[in-house]
Amino acid sequence: MSDTADKRTTVTIGDQTFERGPQGATHQTASGDTPPLTTQQGVPVADDQNSLKAGPRGGTLLEDFHFREKIFHFDHERIPERVVHARGYGAHGFFELTDSLSDYTTAKVLGKTGTRVPAFVRFSTVAGAKGSSDLVRDVRGFAVKLYTEEGNWDLVGNNMPVFFIQDAMKFPDMVHAVKEEPDRGFPQAQSAHDNFWDFASLSPETVHMLLWVMSDRAIPRSFRFMEGFGVHTFRLINAEGNSTYVKFHWKPKQGLQSIVWNEAVKINGADPDFHRRDLWQAIESGDYPEWELGVQLFDDAFADTFDFDILDATKLIPEELVPVRRIGRLVLDRMVDNFFAETEQVAFCTQNVVPGIGFTNDPLLQGRNFSYLDTQTKRLGGPNFTHIPINAPKCPFHNFQQDGHAAMHNPKGRVNYEPNSWGAGPRENPKTGYKHFPDNNGRTTRERGELFADHYSQARQFYISQTKPEQTHIKNAFVFELSKVETPNIRSRVIAHLLNVDETLAKGVAEGLGLKDLPAPAPAARTPITDLAASTALSILKNGPDSFAGRKLGVIVTDGTDAALLNALQTQVEAEGAIMELVAPVVGGITLTDGQIIPAQQKIVGAPSVLYDAVVLLSSAEGTKLLGKDATTRDFVADAFAHAKFIAYGPDATALLAKGGITSDDMDDGVIALKNEADIKPFITTCRKLRFWDREAKTHSV
Ligand code: HDD
């Protein structure tokens, strides 16, 4: 028997030297500290390129334990993806308390100002498979695990404060309806199909959430620029055993920002990982995203007089009624070492709360408390998923649970039960142990609270709280989604509900669908439908950043680009805390007017303007001629204009505007000439507004 491992030669490719095996596989030359490759049993491997055969052209031998172990492990690499929220992206960080809630709760993490605990956050889309795109129209998951000294607290929230349904009993139906249709297996990660809208139009409790999902909240610019919500009403319980209701909010310090639908469609093609990449780049570059933890605190007296039931997850409590008190900050400052080990295997459970934090009887929350534990057991292969490092508490934990698949923390010694007379092992403690808040109204029923039946008032409130461009986006989203619905009845049913929300919206959607006769409004399960006051907190544009920090500028450059202008631009962008990417005909290097050769980050064909918050055209006269003939460049300009972005152009790049379809009649205050370095600062200041919304009405006629 001969082995191939010792038949190595050395080759030089480019300016690097490699070891080469007989079949041509090249390796970096092993340095002294390179660890030896071993099997899972720790046996050193001699050849990782060739299986063991009976002669060079003979059959592969079963004896090859290294081959069998390697393939066996590979065959078992996949675990079931999450039934919802399959596509997600996680990061580590910490939570720090800035304002004590010790009057309200015994939870230590909310007790002493300055308390800091490690955190892990996983953002996600809901409907799509693991490999789907980031910019689908969907709710975003915002799941936070805080490793406190009293155990793990999971706040498994979303980027919207309400939900589609009121009772967990309906969750499988809702999820079945939104996922791909079971006979055809499509559409992937889309709510724009008959089954979803059929279910939604037959379930008026979804209407408020539909408004949110058709709004720009469903197409966030990145995870960094969205809010998070615990959704349900929870309880805080203090040392006297008194309970205060609480709703949790995460407010991004970066401000809120979303994109427009046409951009979303294109980003999904250009960079399906747009949100992942954004978080990765921000954290890797040290620009750590941060959220404030806010709480809305209220008591039974408020709950009794509030127009809606605080146990109804399809309703929110306007911030104008109960202000959000900011009590802490969440900072994400470290990417995972391994995506699978951490982001994929992290298991959130709504039941994971710590002493001083309790549940309410919200029927959605109660159902979730069963579902998450159950799903992790299936997904992660048994009850010991809590032993996986990302899921294990960082505080000491002791109990007599033992055995099962992959057990890592079995009890030590003789004692594995209690009570025992060995005086050993962990003991319960009635003083410090978790106490459930006694809350049971004592009657068994399958009804819902009466106020749950008001399905329209808050939907109407959401709509009137939006700015004009946001209202237009909502209308357009309904028209888009319902245009994909093939059954006319379903479209009409949705309009019938929208007539109870806002007549202008309903008529606008009907018109957009070409629906000639308006249906009668859907009979409301509870009347009257109340006119509530508008709430500023519900609009994205009213809660924008006032800064271009953390945003990305795409700059088209070519050979002969003006070095002084480009350098001045770079200085201003950095001063603002923003990011600049050079987009060029080639990535290898372009030569500026001063002879300097600089690499570009992107080749123009790989970087459409949808990847940027604002763009600058800085091509030279020659470069402009070249790019003027290029379809991708024309799209770059045309899209930036259509997506209401700020566009700046250098003296030699003016012709590119016309190539992108921007005529002199179209020029507006969002298209800005950079004649010299003095024009750059005002341009960056203008970019803080993020978009030039006035343009939108002129660029979208259908
Ligand atoms: Fe859920 C995952 C958020 C209702 C059952 N959910 C999941 C995740 C988030 C949410 C963020 C992903 C966690 C992660 O990143 O691993 N879910 C919500 C919110 C809801 C909600 C904010 C309403 C307020 N969910 C809900 C109901 C049920 C579930 C009513 C079932 C009765 N959710 C699940 C699940 C998932 C899940 C099947 C799939 C994967 C997982 O749990 O870990 O158990």
Sign, CA dihedral 642-646-651-652, equals negative
What pLDDT was estimated at residue 1? 43
Structure token digits, residue 281: 């780049």
Residue 139 CB neighbours (<10 A): 23
The per-residue pLDDT for range 491-538, each reduced to its tens digit, is 999 999 999 999 999 999 999 999 999 999 999 999 999 999 999 999
Of the candidates 254, 251, 259, the one whose C-alpha atom is nearest the C-alpha of residue 282 is 254
Distance 367 CA to ligand 1 centre (A): 10
Q: How buried is residue 454: exposed, middle or buried, by Cβ count under 10 Å (0-12/13-18/19+)?
A: buried
What is the helix (H) or strand (E) element at residue 532, kind and residue range? Answer: none
Measured between alpha carbons, how far is 113 from 47 in angstroms, rounded to an integer?
A: 57
- The residues, any chain, with a CB within 8 Å of residue 473's CB and separated by 6 or more, are 215, 216, 260, 261
CA of 170 to the centre of ligand 1 (A): 13
Mean pLDDT of the chain: 95
pLDDT at site 700: 77
For ligand 1, the distance from its centroid to the CA atom of residue 223, given in whole angstroms, is 18
Taking the C-alpha atoms of residue 530 and residue 388, their distance in angstroms, rounded to an integer, is 49
Indicate which atom in ligand 1 lies nearest the CA of residue 86: 40
Which sequence positions are flagged as catalytic?
85, 158
Residues 596, 594: Cα–Cα separation, whole Å = 6
What is the C-alpha to C-alpha distance for residues 96 and 183, in angstroms, rounded to an integer?
A: 49
Taking alpha carbons only, the member of 604, 634, 613, 619 closest to residue 674 is: 619
**CA 181, CA 165: separation in Å to the nearest integer?**
20
Strand partners, 358: 235
Q: Whose CA is closest to atom 44 on ligand 1?
A: 372
Q: Calculate the dihedral angle through the C-alpha atoms of 336, 340, 345, 348, rounding to the nearest 10 degrees.
A: 50
Digit-coded pLDDT (tens) for 107-165: 999 999 999 999 999 999 999 999 999 999 999 999 999 999 999 999 999 999 999 99
Q: Which residue from 82, 140, 169, 316 has its CB within 8 A of the most atoms of ligand 1, so it is best to mutate? A: 82
Instruction: Give the residue, by CA position, lying nearest to ligand 1 atom 18.
Output: 157
* Span 277-310, pLDDT tens digits: 999 999 999 999 999 999 999 999 999 999 999 9
Confidence band, pLDDT 50/70/90 cuts, at residue 447: confident
Can you tell me whether residue 83 is helix, strand or coil?
coil
CB 619 within 8 A of CB 556: yes
Instruction: Please tell me the predicted confidence (pLDDT) of residue 450.
Output: 92
* Nearest-angstrom CA–CA distance, 311 and 308: 9
Q: What are phi and psi of 78, to 5 degrees?
A: -85, 140
Which amino acid, 317?
A: I
The residue among 88, 8, 5 whose CA lies nearest residue 47 is: 5
d(CA 452, CA 364): 12
Distance CA 155, CA 159 (A): 12
Which range is least confidently modeled, 360-369, 414-423, 441-450? 441-450
Mean pLDDT, residues 375-400: 95
**Interatomic CA distance for residues 161 and 458, integer angstroms:** 12
Return the closest-CA partner of residue 545 out of 252, 135, 330. Answer: 252
Residue nearest to atom 40 of ligand 1 (CA): 82
- What phi-psi label fits residue 189: left (phi over 0), alpha (psi between -120 and 50 degrees) or beta? left
Residue nearest to atom 12 of ligand 1 (CA): 85
| pLDDT tens track for 660-669 | 999 999 999 9
Q: Which residue has the tokens 């978009």?
A: 691
What is the rounded CA–CA span in Å between residue 647 and residue 448?
A: 53
Per-residue tokens: 383: 């009850």
Q: Which residues of 6-42 are buried (b: 16+ CB within 10 A; e: fewer)?
A: eeeeeeeeeeeebebbeeeeeeeeeeeeeeeeeeeee
Q: What token pair was written down for 87?
A: 């596509």
Distance 133 CA to ligand 1 centre (A): 19
- Show the tokens assigned to 411: 């009890």
| Whole-number percent of the chain with pLDDT over 70 | 99
pTM of the full structure: 0.94
Q: How remote is the CA of residue 434 from the centroid of ligand 1, in Å? A: 24
Q: Which atom of ligand 1 is nearest to the CA of 371?
A: 44
Nearest to 242 by CA among 194, 173, 300, 200: 300
Q: How far is CA 615 from the centre of its chain?
A: 25
Confidence (pLDDT) at 6 = 62
Residue to substitute in 79, 83, 85, 349 for testing ligand 1 pocket (most ligand atoms within 8 angstroms of CB): 85
C-alpha 160/C-alpha 247 separation (Å) is: 13
ipTM of the complex: 0.98
408 CA → ligand 1 middle, Å: 27
Instruction: Assign 5 to helix, strand or coil.
Output: coil
% of the chain at pLDDT higher than 90? 89
Structure tokens at 330: 């969440």
Residues with CB under 6 A from ligand 1: 82-85, 88, 122, 124, 141, 143, 156-158, 163, 168, 171, 231, 313, 346, 348, 364, 367-368, 371-372, 375-376
For range 531-558, the mean pLDDT: 96
Residue 701 binned pLDDT confidence (cut-offs 50, 70, 90): confident
Tell me how crowded residue 573 is: count the other CB atoms within 10 A of its CB.
22
Q: Residue 15 — pLDDT band, cuts 50, 70, 90?
A: confident
Which one of 123, 178, 371 would you pick to mutate in the ligand 1 pocket, going by the greatest count of ligand atoms within 8 A of its CB?
371
Residue 556 dihedral angles phi and psi, to the nearest 5°? -80, 125
Q: What type of residue is 100?
A: S
Cβ count near 486 (within 10 Å): 9
Question: Of 70-79, 137-146, 314-323, 459-468, which range is least confident?
Answer: 70-79
Q: Using CA positions, which residue lies closest to atom 22 of ligand 1?
A: 157
Neighbouring C-beta atoms of residue 556, cutoff 10 Å: 29
